[in-house]
């Protein structure tokens, strides 16, 4: 089908063209191409900024907005901005990333535009004129194809689940729209505290070393942190370990935590409950260390070791530091 009036907006909140933004742009570009329509990429920058120039390689049009509240990732400011652009452009779909800001504003934006909202999409396609998304349901035990009947479809997509965009034959146009900075904001950020340890976001990490309740306390997590340093990896945890206060909640992976898609996910003393494994299903390879040979995690992994983690983690770190 071809619908030259079909419009897809992608809204990238990141200040650089990272892997998550590239995947978001890819999702928008493919959806617009499949419908024969237009891909409009919105970013925070000015017409001549590096970011808007980079993004113009992947969008038919780029709307760049130079605004302090947007750069500070103020949810209210982004909501108001996307609402006013949508009122002007009347898009069929608005795609957002999987950061907390996107997850917060997706349903609110859909409500304000009388559209439909859904999150954690692993694919976004068009079928006979209708937008269909695919996502896991029932704690990862099934996959559902869901048709969004109200328009616009406002969707946040799972990190690293989408291939990056291809470069356009010619760069898209870059334009600005006026932003009403004095719009009445219901709330605004007064300060931010970084809870995550240094390094990239879990969603963007290529290697993750994750620990569970079987570690027995917060101290063994220090061993996992030193193993992660050697591997240039990020650390994560099961909900049980986070709920016990051993590590920050920002480390949580699973149904109610981050959905990750690394090249390697190492699960140490994690049983592999479905609520945990649904968050790691997109990993390229999963390895597990667990004393219980019947632990469900072994059904999901390519490499499994039935062993006490204390016998493995320290020696593995020492061996790897010699090698890497
Ligand atoms: C609505 C809902 C949402 C949820 N969301 C999430 C979520 O997002 N993420 C999440 O993780 N969970 C989530 N849960 C919780 C989930 O059901 C499990 O309770 C949790 O994942 C278990 O964490 P765990 O594997 O660390 O602990 P356990 O299930 O207690 O497993 C510990 C494992 O460690 C092993 N072990 C013990 N000692 C050692 C040792 N010395 N060496 C090696 N292995 C050892 C044990 O054999 C066991 O397999 C959710 C639950 C509900 C109801």
pLDDT tens digits, one per residue of 166-188: 998 899 999 987 776 555 667 77
Write the residue with the smallest CA distance to atom 46 of ligand 1.
214
Is the CB of 20 inside a 6 Å radius of any atom of ligand 1?
no
The Cα–Cα gap between 93 and 88 comes to: 14
The Cα–Cα gap between 271 and 26 comes to: 35
Is the CB of 239 inside a 6 Å radius of any atom of ligand 1?
yes
Q: What CATH architecture is 202-323?
A: 3-Layer(aba) Sandwich (3.40)
Is the CB of 274 inside a 6 Å radius of any atom of ligand 1?
no
State the distance from the centre of ligand 1 to the C-alpha of 304, rounded, in angstroms. Answer: 17
DSSP output for 93-105:
EEEE-SSHHHHHH
Q: What is the DSSP letter of 186?
A: S
State the distance from the centre of ligand 1 to the C-alpha of 282, rounded, in angstroms. Answer: 19
Choose the CATH number for 7-175 among 3.40.50.970, 3.40.50.300, 3.40.50.620, 3.30.470.20. Answer: 3.40.50.620
- Is it true that 7-175 and 202-323 share their CATH fold? yes
Write the residue with the smallest CA distance to atom 52 of ligand 1.
275
State the distance from the centre of ligand 1 to the C-alpha of 196, rounded, in angstroms. Answer: 21
Q: What is the pLDDT along the chain (324 residues), one digit of tens a residue?
A: 566 799 999 998 888 888 889 999 999 999 999 999 999 999 988 878 899 999 999 999 999 998 888 888 889 989 999 999 999 999 999 999 988 899 999 999 999 999 999 999 999 999 998 999 999 888 777 899 999 999 999 999 987 788 999 998 899 999 987 776 555 667 777 887 765 556 678 988 999 999 999 999 999 999 999 999 999 999 999 999 999 999 999 999 998 898 899 999 999 999 999 999 999 998 999 999 999 999 999 999 999 999 999 999 999 999 999 888
Q: Is 247 exposed, middle or buried (0-12, 13-18, 19+ CB in 10 A)?
A: buried
pLDDT tens digits, one per residue of 202-251: 988 999 999 999 999 999 999 999 999 999 999 999 999 999 999 999 99
Mutate to test the pocket of ligand 1, among 224, 259, 260, 269 (most ligand atoms within 8 A of CB): 269
State the distance from the centre of ligand 1 to the C-alpha of 273, rounded, in angstroms. Answer: 6
Q: Which residues of 183-198 are buried (b: 16+ CB within 10 A; e: fewer)?
A: eeeeeeeeeeeeeeee
Is the CB of 291 inside a 6 Å radius of any atom of ligand 1?
yes
Domain boundaries, the chain: 7-175, 202-323
Ligand 1 atom closest to Cα of residue 295: 49
Count of CA atoms in the C-beta half-sphere (13 A) of 210: 39
Predicted TM-score of the model (pTM): 0.77
End-to-end CA distance of the chain: 52
Looking at the chain, how many residues does it have? 324
Ligand 1 atom closest to Cα of residue 241: 26
């Amino acid at each position: 089908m071809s619908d030259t009036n079909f419009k897809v907006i992608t809204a990238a909140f990141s200040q650089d063209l990272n892997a998550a933004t590239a995947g978001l742009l890819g999702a928008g570009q493919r959806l617009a191409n499949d419908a024969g329509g237009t891909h409009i990429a919105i970013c925070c920058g000015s017409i001549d900024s590096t970011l808007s120039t980079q993004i113009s390689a992947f969008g038919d049009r780029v709307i760049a907005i130079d605004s302090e509240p947007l750069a500070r990732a103020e949810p209210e400011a982004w909501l108001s901005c996307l609402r006013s652009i949508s009122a002007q452009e009347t898009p069929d779909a608005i795609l957002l990333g999987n950061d907390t800001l996107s997850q917060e504003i997706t349903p609110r934006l859909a409500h304000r535009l009388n559209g439909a909202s859904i999150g954690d999409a692993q694919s976004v396609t068009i079928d006979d004129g209708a937008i269909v998304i695919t996502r896991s349901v029932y704690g990862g035990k099934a996959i559902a194809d869901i048709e969004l009947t109200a328009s616009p479809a406002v969707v946040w997509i799972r990190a690293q689940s989408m291939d990056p965009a291809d470069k356009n034959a010619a760069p898209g146009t870059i334009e600005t729209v006026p932003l009403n900075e004095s719009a009445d904001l219901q709330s605004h950020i007064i300060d931010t505290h970084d809870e995550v340890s240094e390094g990239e976001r879990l969603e963007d990490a290529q290697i993750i070393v994750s620990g569970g309740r079987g570690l027995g306390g917060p101290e063994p997590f220090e061993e996992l942190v030193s193993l992660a340093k050697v591997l240039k990896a990020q650390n994560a945890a099961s909900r049980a370990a986070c709920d016990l206060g051993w590590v920050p909640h920002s480390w949580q992976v699973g149904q109610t935590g981050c959905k990750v898609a690394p090249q390697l996910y190492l699960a140490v003393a994690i049983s592999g409950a479905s609520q945990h494994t649904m968050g790691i299903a997109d990993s390229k390879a999963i390895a597990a260390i667990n004393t219980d040979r019947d632990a469900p995690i072994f059904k999901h992994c390519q490499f499994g070791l039935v062993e006490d983690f204390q016998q493995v983690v320290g020696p593995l770190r020492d061996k790897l530091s010699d090698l890497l």
